[in-house]
Chains A and B, each alone.
Chain A
Amino acid sequence: DGGITQSPKYLFRKEGQNVTLSCEQNLNHDAMYWYRQDPGQGLRLIYYSQIVNDFQKGDIAEGYSVSREKKESFPLTVTSAQKNPTAFYLCASSRTGTGAGKNYGYTFGSGTRLTVV
């Protein structure tokens, strides 16, 4: 079955460490996204990519980095510069539309819960 796989499900980070969250999809979607979800704050966009080897900053990109070397993969690195990284991280993918305003719904992974220890 097609879908998005995020790993690990739970991740613990020590102060000053960089950690990388994995996101893989087999839906043949062009676009991929990373969101952060905190209680009471909803989904906030970190980075997105609409094509291989290209990505754009979202609303809260500081302290994060991404790469898009393959269509199927969009890993997120949480760097030591991110001061408050404890959160639930969600990866999503979608088809990209043609024409002004065309959009499709997102397919989300099951998330990675990151905790600073």
Chain B
Amino acid sequence: QKEVEQDPGPLSVPEGAIVSLNCTYSNSAFQYFMWYRQYSRKGPELLMYTYSSGNKEDGRFTAQVDKSSKYISLFIRDSQPSDSATYLCAMSADKIIFGKGTRLHILP
């Protein structure tokens, strides 16, 4: 079983829809959970950072961590074409492990 599993997509949704992106993991030692956004031919940028379980909200973005289920989610409300990118989950205990990324397309 891989440490971090993430569906590669692509995921296509119409503009204005709510997007749900998810990752599962196997290492119960993970304490820090992150989401990165990567536009084509660019480096990833840190979008959300969460410690332990719970929710964190920042504008249209909400990150959820359920440590009991080893499952993390990123929700994007009122999705925009500019949200089209690859989203990578990442988590760490002593070092950061990245998911392979989900490609998201927001259709105008």
User: Which A residues have a C-beta under 8 Å from some C-beta of B?
Assistant: 4, 6, 40-43, 88, 90, 92, 100-101, 103, 105-111, 113
Cα separation A103 to B45 with both chains bound (whole Å)? 16
Q: How large is the interface on B (under 10, 10 to 19, 20 to 34, 35 or more residues)?
A: 20 to 34
- Establish whether residues A40 and B46, one from each chain, have CB atoms under 8 Å apart when the complex forms: no
- Establish whether residues A108 and B100, one from each chain, have CB atoms under 8 Å apart when the complex forms: no
Within B88-102, the residues touching A (CB, 8 Å) are 88, 90, 92-96, 98-101
- Establish whether residues B45 and A108, one from each chain, have CB atoms under 8 Å apart when the complex forms: yes
User: Which B residues have a C-beta under 8 Å from some C-beta of A?
Assistant: 8, 29, 31-32, 34, 36, 41-46, 49, 88, 90, 92-96, 98-101
**Can you list 23 A-B contacts (CB < 8 A)?**
A4-B43, A40-B8, A40-B100, A42-B98, A42-B99, A42-B100, A42-B101, A43-B88, A43-B98, A88-B41, A90-B43, A101-B29, A101-B31, A101-B92, A103-B31, A103-B96, A105-B34, A105-B46, A108-B36, A108-B45, A110-B43, A111-B42, A113-B41
